Amino acid sequence: MTAEQISPALRDWVDAQLAAGQSARVLFRAMLDSGWSRAVAQAALDSGGTGGAGFPVGCTDPAEPRLPGLPAWADHRGRITVEGHPVDILVRCEWPRLVVLGGFLSPDECEGLISEARARLRPSETVVGDTGGSEVNAARTSEGMFFARGESPLCHRIEARVAALLNWPVSHGEGLQVLRYAPGAQYRPHHDYFDPDLPGTNRILQRGGQRVGTLVMYLNTPEAGGATTFPDAGLTVHAVAGHAVFFAYDRPDPGTRTLHGGAPVRAGEKWVATKWLREGPFA
């Protein structure tokens, strides 16, 4: 199914709904509920040409945010101040909805997160699997740990900054995850949303709903390798200490072009902290 095969009536309806301010995520669900296949619903949204974003590049509507994103007032400036902290906007992309940020974390904050996480690292061999339980994940060869939300003053400060930057409540965020990649370790390309077709997903969604955004914060600069790649966008984001990449996805679908992976580290270590944002309160 391609955008060209979508009937004019369906396309008009999608256009009218988007123009009226309806979110692509809600439209996608409405189309599935009405019996449309995922391919048709996807193609109908893509026919708008923006990947269903419906907002200016990288921004959320401040009056009614439906997705996490930079506030609209950041639209034409290369630097914003968030909670008193200057952040550079290095790259903005419409599809995927993505921004690359410089100086999101200070050197002290990077080192602080590493030292708070280090003793608690475990092999990242488990992911939430089809049944909602833990399974071996051969795609990820790093070590990792999760902080509880607000667990330390440093976590609290970073979570407040993320919430202010992306116009998304602290309550809708998972606790910070820290990953350490040794030389050779990688994270194969994947999507961060929960696959609606997997049997365990309904149970996961009961706590906070879908993931709608990911912020990967780089805690160090690997000697070689370790970039975050977006194969569907032909985009590579280099891991630089204090920098971060944020991307949002308004529906759990590859059409968001948010397939991403961590390229193998070729020399040195790579440390990142990841913050996942949910559509509702994650309690």
| Nearer to Zn ion among residue 23 and residue 186 (C-beta) | 186
Q: Which is nearer to Zn ion, 192 or 250 (CB)?
A: 192
Q: Residue 168 CB, nearest distance to ligand PD2 (Å)?
A: 17
Distance CA 276, CA 201 (A): 16
Instruction: Say how far apart CA 164 and CA 43 lie, in whole Å.
Output: 33
The entry of Zn ion, ligand PD2, none that residue 228 binds, CB within 5 to 8 Å by partner kind:
ligand PD2
Q: Nearer Cβ to ligand PD2, position 143 or 192?
A: 192
> Residues in the site for ligand PD2, rule: CB under 6 A?
179, 187, 192, 214, 216, 228, 260-262, 272, 274
Residue 262 binds which entry of Zn ion, ligand PD2, none, CB below 5-8 Å type-dependent: ligand PD2
Residue 258 CB partners (closer than 8 Å, separation 6+): 96, 98, 191, 192, 193, 214, 230, 232, 247, 249
Residue with Cβ nearer ligand PD2 (74 or 216): 216
The item of Zn ion, ligand PD2, none sharing an interface with residue 272, based on CB under 5 to 8 Å by kind, is ligand PD2
User: Under a CB-based contact definition with an 8 Å cutoff, are residues 137 and 124 in contact?
Assistant: yes
Strands 224-225 vs 211-218: parallel, antiparallel or unpaired: unpaired
Of the pair 54, 208, the CB lying nearest ligand PD2 is at: 208
Separation CA 127–CA 122 (nearest Å): 12
| 252 in Cβ contact with 191 (< 8 Å) | yes
Q: Tell me the C-alpha distance between 46 and 43, whole Å.
A: 5
- Taken in order 198, 200, 205, 206, the sign of the CA dihedral is positive
> Which among 236, 276, 232, 229 has a CA at the least distance from the CA of 257?
232
Give the count of residues interacting with Zn ion (CB under 5 A). 1
User: In the complex, what is the shortest distance from the CB of residue 95 to ligand PD2, in angstroms, rounded to a whole number?
Assistant: 19
Which residue, 17 or 97, is less far from ligand PD2 as judged by CB? 97
Q: How far is the CB of 192 from Zn ion (least distance, A)?
A: 4
**Residues 14-43 as x/- pattern, contact with Zn ion by CB under 5 A:** ------------------------------
Least Å distance, CB 217 to ligand PD2, is: 10
CA distance 233 to 261: 12
Q: Between 158 and 197, how does the x/- string for binding to Zn ion read (CB under 5 A)?
A: ----------------------------------x-----
Q: How far is the CB of 136 from Zn ion (least distance, A)?
A: 17
Q: Which is nearer to ligand PD2, 5 or 236 (CB)?
A: 236
HSE-up of residue 74 (Cα within 13 Å, Cβ side): 27
CA distance 75 to 66: 17
Q: Provide the minimum distance between the beta carbon of 273 and ligand PD2 in the complex, in angstroms, as a whole number.
A: 9
Torsions phi, psi of 49, nearest 5? 90, 0
Binding residues for Zn ion, per CB under 5 A?
Answer: 192
